[in-house]
Amino acid sequence: MRLRLYQQILKYKMPKDTYNDIREDIRDIKENHLAHIEPDIVELKTNMARTMTNTEWLMKFQWLIIGIALTGLITTFLNETNRNSIK
């Protein structure tokens, strides 16, 4: 975009006032664009929160599986220790 603006300035020998006006217009467009994006950002945050809530059960299930696996390992270790002490 800047290149095109500079090309126009060189080609038509645009006065500096016009160039500054165009620069201000471009700056205004960039600043005003945020207002159009904000509702989309809010909707995205809402969707992310909803997704995180929907996956809570998965995290709970994961901890359940980890707990069961650790219990099995501890039980196996204790059983092996008891067998070796009986011999």
The answer to whether the beta carbons of residues 8 and 14 sit under 8 Å apart is yes
Residue 36, sorted as left (phi over 0), alpha (psi -120 to 50) or beta, turns out to be alpha
- What is the chain's mean pLDDT, rounded? 76
> Position 75: which residue type?
T
Domain that holds residue 5: 1-54
Comparing 13 with 67, the larger pLDDT belongs to 67
Confidence of residue 67 (pLDDT cuts 50, 70, 90): very high
Residues 85, 43: one domain?
no
Comparing 36 with 75, the larger pLDDT belongs to 75
Residues 43, 68: one domain?
no
Residues 38, 68: one domain?
no
Q: How many domains does the chain have?
A: 2
**What is the helix (H) or strand (E) element at residue 15, kind and residue range?**
none
The answer to whether the beta carbons of residues 1 and 29 sit under 8 Å apart is no
Residues 40, 65: one domain?
no
> What is the C-alpha to C-alpha distance for residues 48 and 41, in angstroms, rounded to an integer?
10
pLDDT per position as a tens digit, 13-42? 656 677 677 778 777 777 666 666 777 777
Residues 63, 43: one domain?
no
Q: pTM score, two decimals?
A: 0.38
Confidence of residue 2 (pLDDT cuts 50, 70, 90): low
Q: Is the pLDDT of residue 7 over 70?
A: no
SS3 content of the chain, % helix, strand, coil (to 5): 95, 0, 5
